[in-house]
Structure 1
Amino acid sequence: MSAKTPRPRARSMSGWRRALRAGTVPALLISLGTMTANLLGYGFFLVLNRTQSPENLGALVALTNLAVIGAVPALALQLVVARRVARARATVRDQASAGGTALRTGTVVGFAMFLLTCGVTPVIVWALHLDSALPALLLALVVGPTCLTYAVLGDLQGTDRFLALAALYVTVGLSRLCAGLVAAVAGWGVTGVMGALALAAAAAAIVALWIVGGGSVREAMRRGESWHGPVLHGMTATSALLVVSSLDAPLARHFLDPVAAGEFAVLTIFSKAALWAPAFVVTVVYSRMATRRGPRHVGLAVTATALIVAFGVVLTIVLREPLAILVGGASYAHLAPLVPLFTAIGGMWALAQVFVYWRLARADHRFGLLLWIVAVAIIVIVALARHDSAAQLAWTLFGGGCLVVIVGAALLAVAMRRHRAGDLLVSGLMPGSTDPDADIERDVHPGR
């Protein structure tokens, strides 16, 4: 027995090497696509920073953050589609049918979110102190097409078409940048920029349909099943993640004076950069999380994301003043001391995203409850005591992110310990098992 004890360790180490080799090319493609898309997205905000007054800037960044929150079903849809399409490949099911179901669900969800956003327009006008309801109504035209685009992103992700996935990410970012440039040249304000963003969202959806192909589009037009139920379940975690990571600008717009809210909006660019820069890592490994057992791919994603976040924080500590001037201009140089803090906030949410995706890949939505608790706690703390300055609000957000990451890291440590000890159930799961991994086993091997 003693002679055989090193073998599991050797197999584990070779598994790590195989995972690294298999993921190199997809990682390069997705990293190139997402980094390009992120740079284009940051370019959009750089254009706004130099063409809009601080008052308008605060309102626009708050509205775009609400667009992210409004796209909660879109992200849940992407994850559900990616998981189901990946499993359809594993069980040799009809992939065209799965793609059609994805588009069908994306269309219905997008229309529902359009109606919902229109319905809450009075609340948005009040919360963001808008002069007109038109920007909020245009927000609905941004949210609706976004759901359809994300359905296609999920299809591409689930089928490992990483080149097309990267291209669509770039298309989304490029369309937003073009919207900002057109609005800047035309001298438009809040309403004009939101109108341009609505056109950009529609253009990206059209490109997404072209990428996915006519077969899936024709299949989507037929009557058939949809994945509304799994999307609603998936929203438990994805909605909490997007809400808690997008609370910053709307809270600042509501509680701070207009100029301070505009300055806060400039700083949120650093948190968004830190959140989305490492997103390619979890995108690449998500389908493997959904179809393979063990925490190896999760550990790789957490480690890679943490290294990228750490590099970003160190970089902003060293270059905080030049970066503040680059992002906002010389008039925002006094914000430099807060740049590393906002970068760290985004980094915490980037790590939290890995844990959320991991649990969703295991059909476990309970981690989302923690994020909802943290989101509510942040709102309550800010409303009651921590809204006198941008620094107070930022430190509250950072504390919430740290709590989520600590809990996620503890769960991952437990999973790794169980896996190494051989306690993780691999087969023979009973039909009534509450183990989240049982959902994967039954979906990939329905006969068990």
Structure 2
Amino acid sequence: MTSGTTPASAPKAKRLAFLRRATVVAVAMAIMNVAAYGFTLIGTHRLAPEQFGALTALLGLLLIGNVASLGLQAAGARQLATHSGAGAGALSDTMLKAGNRAALVLTAVCLVLTPVFMWLLHIDSVVSIVLLAPTLGCLTVMGAQLGVLQGSKRWTELAVIYTLTGVGRLVLGGGALLVRPTLDAAMIGLALGAAVPIIVGRWVLRGSTGATKEQIKTVLREAAFGTHTLLAFFVIANADVLFARALLDGTDSGYYAAGVIIAKACLFLPQFVIVLVFPTLAQSPGDTQRLRKAIAAVAGLGVCTVIGTLILPDLVVAVIGGADKYAPLGPYTWLFAVSGSAYAVLQLVVYAAIAQQEKRAALGIWIGLVVLAAAAGIVLGTGIATGLNGVKVLVAMTSTCALLLSAVLAAGLHRQAAGSPQA
């Protein structure tokens, strides 16, 4: 008997290796998301409604600013994944220095906009607003670090950073609220929690040197492209809540907002698939078979969530807001699961567009947003659909929009790959 894998067992070994990687990353991202939700729950219990509203607004700003971090991560992962030959250390150093520069710019912009944020959000605490800047700076640096680890396929270290992101927010942010239930304490804890993963990331990525100014500028330009594309996606993925608020009455928009919690859970559930497959998509642009398999994996998870909401609608309603308040939403929870799963597929295709450097993807998403807004305005604004029917129609329109955009963008990627010189 010879050691090693036989040709027949090689595919099985590859599948097992992928499942191990997927499990590690999926568990880490689940911990991160659950910990972030735990911090929010502590906030709801420890802060007065007015202060919790302010905290939610500040978290919203961090969510918007974090798009730059995601753009850096995508750029770094693509660059490292497509890199061949020597010089990986210099390329990693390029990514990290690009992240540092972007973090400094965003930190400075946040500090300059402090008076604007105070006026816009009706927050009197200068400390809370000022702390947005270092928190966002840390998140941006972390995005560059994650990009290097993702592109290098260092899945264990990547999982550690994801885990520390959630644990830092829960332990330090939530702990600060338990010690002192104020908005300032929450923001101090968030800032400290955001610093934890980048400290560990610097230690993990030590030894990367050799970046040039021109290389850093190139990475920043690519990061700007990825940031724009992801910004378009996050806008369209969150626009339906604004449409519901503007076009439905207060009660129905409240039902819709509760349903969106289900949609967001279904959107974030398969993110680990995107993290794992993105470097491979970058290495093999136009590989439609690989993209189809990834879409099937994301869609499969979506089908599971839809079945779960169909079987246990009352439990889902009780978890998201309470059976007493949101009982009428029960029969429609599956529609929100479909919507979130549809946007999860779109998110995967958007990352495939970034991996393939498809510059028209963002334009397509913005056009989709305009069409969705017009359709919602006509159907809901004119009273064609009202009440819970309006809720059902709006969530159905968002699902349809996401699936159509996914099909259009995927077809564009296929055409681009077919027309490339290598095809």
TM-score by length of 2: 0.80
Q: CA deviation at 1:194?
A: 2.7
Q: Rate the CA distance shift 1:79–1:414 in 2: closer, same or farther, 3 A.
A: closer
Q: CA deviation at 1:98?
A: 0.9
CA contact (8 A) 2:173 2:187 kept: no
CA–CA distance in structure 2, aligned partners of residues 86 and 51 of structure 1: 44
Q: Rate the CA distance shift 1:411–1:333 in 2: closer, same or farther, 3 A.
A: closer
Alignment partner for residue 102 of structure 1, among 95, 116, 136?
Answer: 95
- Which residue of the partner structure matches residue 445 of structure 1? none
- Which residue of the partner structure matches residue 46 of structure 1? 41
Alignment partner for residue 403 of structure 1, among 401, 404, 407?
Answer: 401
Moved more, 43-52 or 323-332: 323-332
CA–CA distance in structure 2, aligned partners of residues 253 and 122 of structure 1: 27
CA–CA distance in structure 1, aligned partners of residues 397 and 200 of structure 2: 40
Alignment partner for residue 282 of structure 1, among 274, 286, 300?
Answer: 274
Alignment partner for residue 139 of structure 2, among 121, 146, 149?
Answer: 146
Q: CA deviation at 1:310?
A: 2.0
Letter in 1 for 2:295: V
CA–CA distance in structure 1, aligned partners of residues 354 and 263 of structure 2: 24
Q: CA deviation at 1:76?
A: 0.9
CA–CA distance in structure 2, aligned partners of residues 253 and 131 of structure 1: 26
CA–CA distance in structure 2, aligned partners of residues 260 and 290 of structure 1: 43
CA contact (8 A) 2:372 2:401 kept: no
CA–CA distance in structure 1, aligned partners of residues 246 and 200 of structure 2: 36
Letter in 1 for 2:78: R
- Which residue of the partner structure matches residue 371 of structure 1? 365
- Percent pairwise identity: 28
- Which residue of the partner structure matches residue 225 of structure 1? 215
Q: CA deviation at 1:200?
A: 1.2
- Which residue of the partner structure matches residue 342 of structure 2? 348
Do residues 245 (structure 1) and 243 (structure 2) align?
no
Q: CA deviation at 1:193?
A: 2.2
CA–CA distance in structure 2, aligned partners of residues 127 and 394 of structure 1: 32
- Which residue of the partner structure matches residue 289 of structure 2? 296
Q: Rate the CA distance shift 1:326–1:32 in 2: closer, same or farther, 3 A.
A: same
| Structure 1 segment 34-433 matched on structure 2, within 5 A | 34-88=29-83, 91-125=84-118, 127-132=120-125, 134-212=127-205, 214-216=206-208, 219=210, 225-226=215-216, 227-247=219-239, 268-292=260-284, 293-328=286-321, 333-334=326-327, 336-337=329-330, 339-375=333-369, 396=394, 399-412=397-410, 424=418, 429=421
What SS does the aligned partner of 1:215 have? coil
- Which residue of the partner structure matches residue 4 of structure 2? none
What SS does the aligned partner of 1:225 have? helix
For 1:365-401, what per-residue CA distance to the aligned partner results, in whole angstroms no more than 9, with x for missing partners? 2111222334466678889976999996896466345
CA contact (8 A) 2:365 2:405 kept: no
Q: CA deviation at 1:188?
A: 2.1
CA–CA distance in structure 2, aligned partners of residues 19 and 114 of structure 1: 43
Q: Rate the CA distance shift 1:368–1:415 in 2: closer, same or farther, 3 A.
A: closer
Q: CA deviation at 1:30?
A: 1.8
CA contact (8 A) 2:353 2:413 kept: no
Q: Rate the CA distance shift 1:228–1:414 in 2: closer, same or farther, 3 A.
A: closer
Moved more, 376-385 or 319-328: 376-385
Q: CA deviation at 1:19?
A: 7.5
Q: Which runs of 5+ in 2 are unaligned?
A: 1-8
CA–CA distance in structure 1, aligned partners of residues 299 and 146 of structure 2: 25
CA–CA distance in structure 2, aligned partners of residues 380 and 58 of structure 1: 30
Q: Which runs of 5+ in 1 are unaligned?
A: 1-13, 430-437, 442-448
1 or 2 for the larger relative contact order (CA 8 Å, sep ≥6)? 1
CA–CA distance in structure 2, aligned partners of residues 206 and 277 of structure 1: 27
- Which residue of the partner structure matches residue 27 of structure 1? 22
Moved more, 141-150 or 44-53: 44-53
Letter in 1 for 2:308: L
Q: CA deviation at 1:27?
A: 2.0
Q: Rate the CA distance shift 1:183–1:312 in 2: closer, same or farther, 3 A.
A: farther
CA contact (8 A) 2:75 2:223 kept: yes
Q: CA deviation at 1:119?
A: 3.9
Q: Rate the CA distance shift 1:294–1:370 in 2: closer, same or farther, 3 A.
A: same
Q: CA deviation at 1:38?
A: 2.1
Aligned-residue Cα RMSD (Å) equals 4.0
How many residues end up aligned between the 2 structures? 407
CA contact (8 A) 1:19 1:297 kept: no
Letter in 2 for 1:92: G
